[in-house]
Structure 1
Amino acid sequence: MTTASTRTPVHTHLVEGFGTVTITPVDPAADSARIHSWVTEERARFWGMGEADRELVQEIYEDVDRRTTHHAFMVGLDGEQVALFQTYDCAEDRVSECYEVRPGDVGVHLLIGPSGGAARHGFTGGLMEAFLAYLFTDGGALRVVAEPDARNAKAIALLERTGFELGPEVELPEIDLPEVYLPAKPARLAFLSRPTAAR
């Protein structure tokens, strides 16, 4: 049995007709078993961690936890963990080699956990509302940048429905460092600027 994270949420957002979404920093030791169970499913193949064991997943998120430029969060809906959400400073990430980074660009990755029951209409849209509220307020983003795998048509369609403007298809370069390895990846850039009312 895994231990629930004891960390305090950085953001809580009530989505009308959906529920209360909480965004809480990942606790690598407490959350690694759940994250491992999600990232090793076939449906999560584009996440790129399908062959990882639980110990490696914990090590990866311990590395993220030490960084000031990259952050990982467990997302709760009315108290149940439903997604993994990551943000990063685009200027300090490999995506910076693929486009001209602006001040205030914050990159995102999102993995929805497996559904415990019947599919719920508007589920991902409700989570996206909460994520963007966090990013454009507490998260300090002026523009959100996504770079899903270019072959992940579902993720690209979700970004378009959410209002993102699609950018070019790029090749994210390989990263081969002692503490982290990321293979090269074809990605589709997408951008969403901060609403004028939030400035």
Structure 2
Amino acid sequence: MPPTDESTDAGTARAARAALGSAPGSRAGTGFDPGAGTDCEDTLDLRLSDELIALFAGDTGSRDGTVDGTTTGAVHGARGGSREETPDADDLLDRVGGWGPARTIAGALHLVPVRGGRDLALVHRWMNDPAVAEFWELAGPEAVVEEHVLRQLDGDGRSVPCIGVLDNTPMSYWEIYRADLDPLARHYPARPHDTGIHLLIGGVADRGRGLGSTLLRAVADHVLDRRPSCARVVAEPDLRNTPSVSAFLSAGFRFSAEVDLPGKRGALMIRDRSLRDLL
């Protein structure tokens, strides 16, 4: 793939794609493809923990959207019944809302868990940007975004949707999730406490200038700092989204494998705790 970074002048469409980071994949998948590009050190016989087995036993859904994933879980009630706070089970992710700011060269970034009544209109507007909709596939009426968010808020806490607030300005949407407890784990050799991230940068003015790479590196390292049990941060941007893949590489992730996911072929990107000072 061409060595295109978000900071390069690659045209409006490419810059917009680079800013999208990774997003959820949906529909029936085909399983893990151990083809070219598979990193042998990521393949191992994993003994599933009791926690993982119990959670998978109750997981009958599949991931929604299209450019990375969201977790499954029942949506409780109709519109207007959205949860206003993340559930207590958020401790599956060591309470994201209390992590404090991630320091970046662009300013302090706070990950603020989504509150339905407060944040849905903003996320809905971002999802209806054509450059975003191409990969997230959540454009349409607000009910589409509401359902996507409520699946996480009303779930068991394995995925937490957040607004990224950079120096007091809401400017991005994030999903921090337990990749080892997510349907994604069926498509790659997951390890206990693998933590996944999805990113959407909302404003056009914030795209195409390297900000995505800056934020991805800062949040990935924030995950490793706040989750001592987590040894790897993972993402699976769409392989077609070359600028996004490049942004992850610039953020210190390494390409591990190509994976067939529901609705897309993804690039499995990994940021290792053991390599964070080298990449």
Match of 1:24 in 2: 112
Verify the 8 A CA contact 1:94 1:172 in the aligned structure 2: no
Query: Shift of residue 195 of structure 1?
Result: 4.1
Provide Cα deviations, 1:97-147, integer angstroms capped at 9, x if missing partner.
2111111211111111123x4768442233223312321122443101111
Give the unaligned 5+ runs of structure 1.
174-183
- Residue 185, structure 1, aligned to residue 274, structure 2: no
Q: Could you tell me how far 1:85 is from its partner in structure 2? A: 0.9
Equivalence for 2:125: 37
Identify the residue that residue 254 of structure 2 maps to in structure 1: 165
Amino acid of the structure 1 residue aligned with 2:166: L
Residues 10 and 55 from structure 1, CA distance in 2 versus in 1: closer, same or farther, beyond 3 angstroms?
Answer: farther
Whole-Å Cα distance in 2 between the matches of residues 79 and 120 of structure 1? 21
How many angstroms apart in 2 are the aligned matches of 1:120 and 1:171?
A: 27
Equivalent position to 2:192, from 103, 120, 135: 103
Pairing 1:62–2:150 present: yes
Give the CA deviation at 1:14: 2.8
**Equivalent AA in structure 2 for residue 163 of structure 1:** G
Cα 1:118/1:100, change in 2 over 3 Å: closer
Distance 1:48 1:118 in 2: 21
Please list, as runs of the form range in 1=range in 2, the aligned pairs for 1:120-199 lying within 5 A after superposition. 121-140=209-228, 141-173=230-262, 184-195=263-274
Please identify the structure whose Cα radius of gyration is greater.
Answer: 2
In 2: Cα distance, 1:191 partner to 1:69 partner:
19
Match of 2:176 among 79, 84, 87: 87
- Name the CA distance, whole Å, in 1 between partners of 2:256 and 2:181: 20
Equivalent residues of 1:142, 1:193 under 8 A apart: yes
| Residues in 1 aligned to 2:181 and 2:237: alpha-carbon distance in whole angstroms | 18
> Aligned partners of 1:118 and 1:188: how far apart in 2?
24
Shift of 1:59: 2.4
Provide closer, same or farther for how the CA distance between residues 73 and 151 of structure 1 changes in structure 2, counting only shifts above 3 A.
same
Q: Name the count of aligned residue pairs.
A: 181
Q: If the length of structure 2 is used for normalisation, what is the TM-score? A: 0.59
Cα separation, partners in 2 of 1:9 and 1:22, compared to 1, 3 Å: farther
CA RMSD across the alignment: 2.5
Provide, for residues 54-87 of structure 1, a one-character-per-residue CA deviation record: whole Å limited to 9, x for no partner: 1221222122112211111100111111111112
TM-score, reference length from structure 1: 0.80
Contact 1:11 1:22 in 2 (8 A): yes
Change (3 A) 1:101 1:118: closer
Q: For 1:37, what is the secondary structure of its paired residue? A: helix
Q: Which one scores higher on RCO, CA 8 angstroms, separation ≥ 6?
A: 2
Letter in 2 for 1:162: A
Separation (CA, whole Å) in 2 of partners of 1:118 and 1:89? 27
Cα distance in 2 for partners of 1:11, 1:104 equals 20
Residue identity matched to 2:200: L
- Residue 197 of structure 1, CA deviation: 8.2
1:179 maps to none
In structure 1, what is the equivalent of residue 9 of structure 2? none
